[in-house]
Amino acid sequence: MTRQPTYREGLTEEAIRAPGFSTPWDAPMVPPYPFTFRNATILTVYWRTDPAAIARLLPPPLEPTGDVACAHIYRMADTDWLGPYGEMNVMVGARLGARAGGYSPYLALSSDIGVAHGREMHGQPKKLAEPVIEYRGDLVVGRVTRNGIDVLTATTPYKQRAVGAEAIKPHFDFATNLNLKALDQIDGRPLVRQLTSRRLSDVTVHEAWEGPATVELRPNAQLPVHRLPVLEELEAILWRADFTLVPGEIVHDYMEAAP
């Protein structure tokens, strides 16, 4: 990667063309790969939902792999560039050919840098919100608030049954994240229409605890997680981990596939 010039050196065309370039160039918004998340606490809750609801949210040619949705609520304690913040990633199982993972119809977080990076790089549909994990005595509570509405509230008992890292993904392998990336030219013409895929690297799970889950969804037109209705509450996993975000890949290009 070309070294980015300092403010005193001035901006060059070579630096603009280089991978990892971001604006404003003398105080970049979007971090370059890789960057690491340390000591993140995650509450993952699973629920059975309406297969028709999953199908409506999946962009073709992705296909659903089941009827289970999950939400990860993150307390990011120490992240390169971003610092501490909260995040929520709602996922459903999906497949493109032999590639299976979790597709993200909704993401929300409290970091403006995270919103910009997720949308510009991965095509993740991130919006600003306030995801938090709280410990209320013997109860773990995950809440996601946007526009003053708790759009998702999840609970599980506090650390009652320790499990191994393999128990974190009982329904689909969410470590492979699939996203729909859509960017337009300044004149309105489509620029990017892609399905992207990324997988976290250097994952170390420090601890994991399984328990029953409760999941409550409240309607919000700007973060409509309620469109994946809760038909049956399944399990919850409270876990703590380190991981690194690395470059992903383009797995389907709609512009190239167009007739």
Q: How far apart are CA 104 and CA 90, in angstroms?
A: 6
25 pLDDT more than 80: yes
Please, what are the domains in the chain?
37-257 (2.40.400.10)
Is the Cβ–Cβ distance between 204 and 158 less than 8 Å?
no
* CA distances in angstroms from 162 to 12, 95, 141, 172, listed in the order given: 54, 30, 18, 20
Q: What is the pTM of this model?
A: 0.95
Residue 126 bears catalytic tag: yes
CB 202 within 8 A of CB 131: no
Confidence of residue 6 (pLDDT cuts 50, 70, 90): confident
**CA–CA dist 208, 37 (Å, integer):** 17
Residue range 128-142, pLDDT digits in tens: 999 999 999 999 999
**187-214 pLDDT, tens per residue?**
999 999 999 999 999 999 999 999 999 9
Which residue in 126, 127, 159, 181 is the catalytic one?
Answer: 126
Question: For a pLDDT cut of 90, what percent of the chain falls above it?
Answer: 90
